[in-house]
Structure 1
């Protein structure tokens, strides 16, 4: 009996040690991970694979492939997945919290600054809007090179751009992604599937199916419930949950989804929206924490909590739900074909966002275009880190405001 108690205590201690270790490491990464999702994956590899050896190279590559396949913030999902593998479901939640919280706090403070002072028309705010143009242009360039590989994918991308610009509703983006997936299945039936390693996941298939059922249930029924509930908070949760559920191809794609949800409805001005998006480039951690800024601007501290939880909840449900099935799912040629079509549509949707609302509200004069060109040169060819681009953009915007 005593031996059983001692063993149980040791088990609890080991779990607590793993939990605290995940919290410490993920918080460290949340404080230093500048540079966007690709850079985040590099930081994760260095910390989790090379230094701590929590995963081997093949398992890490397989986890990254899964998170690239799923909608949502890929780097956050990789972190959640590693936390789950290391310390179970609580470890996954802790890994997300540590990686996300520093960025959320920084952007909430920025929102408080905007609310406390009338600086919406300040030159440095306009500079941040130009930074947003440059950041998204770089994302489109990188994604286009990787995902637009032939005439078919280019056609899907351009048609998606045209429809998004001419039919500006949140529903059309869902429809475009679905249609692109179907076209991808039809065009790429014979996609070659590379062999993949199996991950050791401490999650039952039953609980995984429950998470997937919750994900789809909320996605389908929340829009109907909000029509009858007459609750501003439920509507806010639905808007951010739906945006987080439909993001394929990286965090920048959330921009047009969120913009359609909060700007035309009058929840936030377009100027404040783009200023926050520019500021989000200057902080470490996932770009999805932009939701914390928007929630703060819309509904104060409660709004920040709801928006942040809602936009990340799909990522958590999907990674936990998909991990036990990933090895089988990834070997399905139809799934791979659908992903090719979806990714092409995502490039098109992001290209539309580059024009409207980014370009149309930020590039208003030759001086704005000149600053954007210089910042693009620094980011793409000089490889300057995003936080440098943000500072340079703010300074450039201030200079332009004084010169005009």
Structure 2
């Protein structure tokens, strides 16, 4: 067994073979900022197909870990996922480069849109509304397909199936900023309680299981505890000596069971990908430094007698990027409170941007660039200043905290309770994706009479557009950006039919 190499600054920054690593990142991610349509749920599927299936930069287990970590903490979920993948594979500088390549195309597009919207009249032409509605309908189909595909991977047993359904149902019934992280926390706790069998003894005492059956279950529980939570030994299989650590170069295989009781091979934490881009003390220091910066910015926002508009904009975006859990679908209502309620952006301009961001590639957090530019224009400041402050303010909190979290994560990821909690958090996060389908469905159709949006279900045409997007991706491998283009064309087709009939 070789001696582990100590952590070094050049390793964390990716300075070894820097040019090769940056070229590697640019080569495989340059197009994602132009083709990553469909919002976070679709992005996760795109990243899985590219980095797990085709490039094999990470494997299935590491991907599921990153998905859970990125969903469990604040900030843009899919952007943090891409950042972490590049961080693990090529280091910090490559991760930053990958983030810029991923986010800047959509950010520049939203900046140009803000300048255009600031010069239009009270309403858009009806063909423009038709295109926007078609984009929204196609996006709903893309997100629905991504939710189904991610659920198929997150569901490993009956418990995770229940947690996916529970999170989806709870997310549909209520919507608040504090609510989503609480739901994922509950899912993680339930998974730990179930896997460690903390309630088995009191339940058996109440139910009164026969002694012979109780003895058999107790024996199986002792054998299962030797291999880890939720894992049972196959017949005549000996438990490993140490389940919390694996031998270097090994994959640590264990035997699990599916819903039908059929045994199947399941890999726990593989040693092929050590998440040691940074050390855990450095990662913890980054998190603490961020918390200090957050406190300073929020305190100054409240105590300064007359802060400038641009500072208030940056503080609001920094606050939003810190407290948003659930990614893009959650950021919209919060940003509405932070800019429309402040009187910086009109409700009409906000809704136009809301419709268009669904058809833009890249992260939905680029919506902050649009709102920042409009805020600066309406306040008499340069539009670029507002756009840059919105961009930095909304993205910085999530990227800083996830970078620090990766250092801490490398130190705790092999613990049994962490793996168990991840299973529940992952299932809960997937369930919440279904809420994004419902929220957009309810406001997807916009026109002159309802510029604030109404349900796509009110016209069968949009239902067909959504189904076309879903079926095209599921059965025919239609790429999300192609589905968005088809949706926009079908929106124009509907407009032509409606005008031809005299409506």
TM-score (norm 2): 0.63
Q: Which residues in structure 2 correspond to 1:59-98 (within 5 Å)? A: 59-98=62-101
What is the CA–CA distance in structure 1 between the aligned matches of 2:56 and 2:189, rounded to whole Å? 41
- The more displaced of 190-199 and 134-143 is 134-143
Select the residue among 355, 363, 366 that pairs with 2:454. 363
Select the residue among 408, 420, 440 that pairs with 1:325. 408
Select the residue among 114, 132, 140 that pairs with 2:117. 114
The structure with the largest helix share of the pair is 1
Are positions 1:266 and 2:343 aligned together? yes
1:399 Cα offset (Å): 6.5
Q: Which residues in structure 2 correspond to 1:26-65 (within 5 Å)? A: 26-45=29-48, 48=51, 54-55=57-58, 58-65=61-68
Are positions 1:379 and 2:469 aligned together? yes
| Change beyond 3 A, Cα 1:265–1:351 | farther
The answer to whether the 8 Å contact 2:136/2:359 transfers is no
Task: Quote the residue 2:264 is aligned against.
Answer: none
Larger Rg: 2
Task: Quote the residue 2:279 is aligned against.
Answer: 204
Task: Quote the residue 1:167 is aligned against.
Answer: none
Structure 1 counterpart SS, 2:178: helix
Ranges in structure 2 where 5+ consecutive residues have no aligned partner: 1-9, 196-228, 231-266, 377-382
For residues 171-216 of structure 1, give each alpha carbon's deviation from its aligned partner in whole angstroms, at most 9, with x where no partner exists: xx33324543564466442256782235343212222112222444
| Change beyond 3 A, Cα 1:142–1:33 | closer
- The more displaced of 67-76 and 85-94 is 67-76
Select the residue among 292, 307, 312 that pairs with 1:235. 312
The answer to whether the 8 Å contact 1:76/1:286 transfers is yes
Task: Quote the residue 2:210 is aligned against.
Answer: none
Structure 2 counterpart SS, 1:174: coil
Corresponding pairs, count: 386
Structure 2 counterpart SS, 1:362: strand
Select the residue among 190, 199, 215 that pairs with 2:194. 190
1:305 Cα offset (Å): 0.9
| Change beyond 3 A, Cα 1:358–1:152 | farther
For residues 300-334 of structure 1, give each alpha carbon's deviation from its aligned partner in whole angstroms, at most 9, with x where no partner exists: 11111111112211221132112123352584245
What is the CA–CA distance in structure 2 between the aligned matches of 1:262 and 1:303, rounded to whole Å? 12
Task: Quote the residue 2:243 is aligned against.
Answer: none
Are positions 1:285 and 2:362 aligned together? yes
Task: Quote the residue 2:106 is aligned against.
Answer: 103
1:374 Cα offset (Å): 3.2
| Change beyond 3 A, Cα 1:282–1:227 | same
TM-score (norm 1): 0.76
Select the residue among 469, 472, 491 that pairs with 1:393. 491
- The more displaced of 327-336 and 306-315 is 327-336
For residues 30-69 of structure 1, give each alpha carbon's deviation from its aligned partner in whole angstroms, at most 9, with x where no partner exists: 2333344454345445654566554455544543443344
The answer to whether the 8 Å contact 1:281/1:386 transfers is no
Task: Quote the residue 2:399 is aligned against.
Answer: 316
The answer to whether the 8 Å contact 1:125/1:397 transfers is no
The answer to whether the 8 Å contact 2:181/2:325 transfers is no
- The more displaced of 116-125 and 392-401 is 392-401
Ranges in structure 1 where 5+ consecutive residues have no aligned partner: 1-7, 165-172
Q: Which residues in structure 2 correspond to 1:297-312 (within 5 Å)? A: 297-299=374-376, 300-312=383-395
Task: Quote the residue 1:21 is aligned against.
Answer: 24
For residues 127-174 of structure 1, give each alpha carbon's deviation from its aligned partner in whole angstroms, at most 9, with x where no partner exists: 32574476458647865994997788767766665654xxxxxxxx33
Task: Quote the residue 1:275 is aligned against.
Answer: 352
What is the CA–CA distance in structure 2 between the aligned matches of 1:322 and 1:50, rounded to whole Å? 25
Task: Quote the residue 1:168 is aligned against.
Answer: none
